[in-house]
Structure 1
Amino acid sequence: MRKRERENPCVVCGHYHKYEEGEVCGVCGHRMPASSEKLVQQSSAFPSEILKDFLYLGSYDNASRGELLKTQGISRILNTVPACQNLYKNSFTYYCLEDEKILQFDNATQFLEQCERDKARVLVHCMSGRSRSPAVVIAYLMKCKGWRFAQSHQWVKDRRPQVELSPAVHQQLLEYEQKIFGSNEPMPTQVSAMPDSSSGFVFGFPKVSDSNTLPIFNQLANTSIFEQTGPNIAPTSFVFGAGRPVDQPFPDNNAFGFIHPNTNEAPMDSS
């Protein structure tokens, strides 16, 4: 078998394979796109902007157009395909995922968070920009923006219509959503009810259930101790802090927590 000449590598992926003849690259899997894919690639020389002036999503073809990336202000590249060659190491800061099958979402989002803090524009790419790299962008939106999977996926799909997640990648994203939010179901919105002013003084204690209701100061249904002195005793016979009539019993339901006089118990500390 004649040895292949190595003077002319593929202009797209940089590896040596017969790109023009449709041969699949043995290193990164790059191949000549079908006619329908050619139309998409011709209309998308620039990567898709996902978050304005920050996050861009594209293919390896986009990542190989260094001059176009510079015109967009992109200075960092997240490569989600370990076998893909980083073509411009002197011009861009690269970060590469190391696993071919399992996407390392946490590592990728940490890199993207650092780019955001540095106000650097970053391109996330895979081979075609349809599955692996969109999955990383979706994971970033879930982790750092607090969006659920469905919302994040729709956001990316609207800005890059050719996105088509593989079943394996889709499942990884569902598992990552469960890891972040604890469930794949949207959390119901909890509205904190304001305390009811008609329930009396609460002082931060939990509301007592209706089955064991204690006296409350301003409820008309409860009888005040000022009204428990007896029907035949004039109001002037009660002097706050003074002695009580001899034959007047103490109310059984002591609303204020007073201690009966002539006992050895000390008053309760309100603290």
Structure 2
Amino acid sequence: MRKRERENPCGVCGHYHKYEEGEVCETCGHRMLATSEKASVHFSAFPSEILPQFLYLGSYDNASRSELLKTQGISRVLNTVPACQNLYKNSFTYHCLQDDKSLSFDDANQFLENCERDKARVLVHCMSGKSRSPAIVIAYLMKSKGWRLERSHQWVKERRPSIDLAEAVYQQLQEYERKLFGSTDGPDSSTPVFPSLDVQPFSFGFPKTDDQVPMPAFNNIAATSIFSRPNFEGPPQEFTFGAGLSQNNNTCHNSNSSSDVQMDSS
């Protein structure tokens, strides 16, 4: 390697490679973005703040700007790409995931939980800040907040619109969701769910609203109206009140009449 190259390392990753010419770094895999990529990706020197004053999400470019990280109060870095070199070990506390294919959510969450307990601000980064590092952040929200995958993904997407999870990475998040919640279908844990109790309601002897209540007799069309006149065309058939008394009165009246006649004749 020529002396000029040694004196002029890459300003992004700090390694010696022809960054301006588009050469890929042999140490960390970093390269300069093409013109079309620069137009499609919103570039920011600062990482995205996911949780206020605690959790930040960014790219390797963000992780390489030590002075900007210090201005945000970041003191710890979670590196999700084993090929990316930890540049400032004297200034930051690093934790690097060792598997470049599958994401170790439990390992990452343990480190992030320690950062939160120590009230230390932490940056989670991958190469572009679009897939691996957002997945780690989403998994942490699922674990720490009790949110389902959909809500956690939406939370991160709103704060860093450029994220674009790879299909394999999203499948790993679905498996992690099943591990945490038992299934990928169901309500969000933030919404309380109360079991239904089969308890009979109190009625105090009154009929329920859906019971059939018998209609009053005076509303029956077949019933006789109280204002209708009785039929007197024939003598009453079963009327016996005072019948015996009227018969005795007739007998007494006849006997008196006969005695009167006898008295007149005399």
Displacement of 1:87: 1.1
* AA of the residue aligned to 2:183: S
More helix, by proportion: 2
Cα distance in 2 for partners of 1:36, 1:70 equals 31
Cα distance in 2 for partners of 1:162, 1:28 equals 22
Displacement of 1:39: 5.2
Contact 1:78/1:94 (8 A) holds in 2: yes
Contact 2:79/2:95 (8 A) holds in 1: yes
Cα distance in 2 for partners of 1:9, 1:39 equals 26
Displacement of 1:186: 1.9
Cα distance in 2 for partners of 1:58, 1:180 equals 26
Contact 1:17/1:24 (8 A) holds in 2: yes
* AA of the residue aligned to 2:82: P
Instruction: Count residues with an aligned counterpart.
Output: 202
Displacement of 1:26: 2.6
Alignment pair present for 1:90 and 2:90: yes
Cα distance in 1 for partners of 2:54, 2:40 equals 23
Name which of 167, 191, 203 aligns with 2:194: 191
Contact 2:41/2:162 (8 A) holds in 1: no
Cα distance in 1 for partners of 2:9, 2:130 equals 25
Displacement of 1:190: 3.0
Contact 1:10/1:17 (8 A) holds in 2: yes
* AA of the residue aligned to 1:190: V
Q: Which residue of 1 aligns with 2:116?
A: 116
Q: CA RMSD in A?
A: 2.6
Once the two structures are superposed, the pairs formed by residues 1-271 of structure 1 within 5 Å of their partners are 3=1, 6-7=5-6, 8-38=8-38, 43-187=43-187, 190-192=193-195
Pair 151,120 (structure 1): closer, same or farther in 2 beyond 3 Å: same
Cα distance in 2 for partners of 1:193, 1:182 equals 21
Q: Under a length normalisation based on structure 2, what TM-score does the superposition of the two structures give?
A: 0.69
Q: Which residue of 2 aligns with 1:251?
A: none
For structure 1, the residue ranges without an aligned partner over 5 or more in a row are 200-217, 221-271
* AA of the residue aligned to 1:93: T
Q: Which has the larger radius of gyration?
A: 2
For structure 2, the residue ranges without an aligned partner over 5 or more in a row are 207-266
Contact 1:14/1:85 (8 A) holds in 2: no
Q: Under a length normalisation based on structure 1, what TM-score does the superposition of the two structures give?
A: 0.68
Cα distance in 1 for partners of 2:2, 2:143 equals 46
Higher mean C-alpha deviation, range 157-166 or range 6-15: 6-15
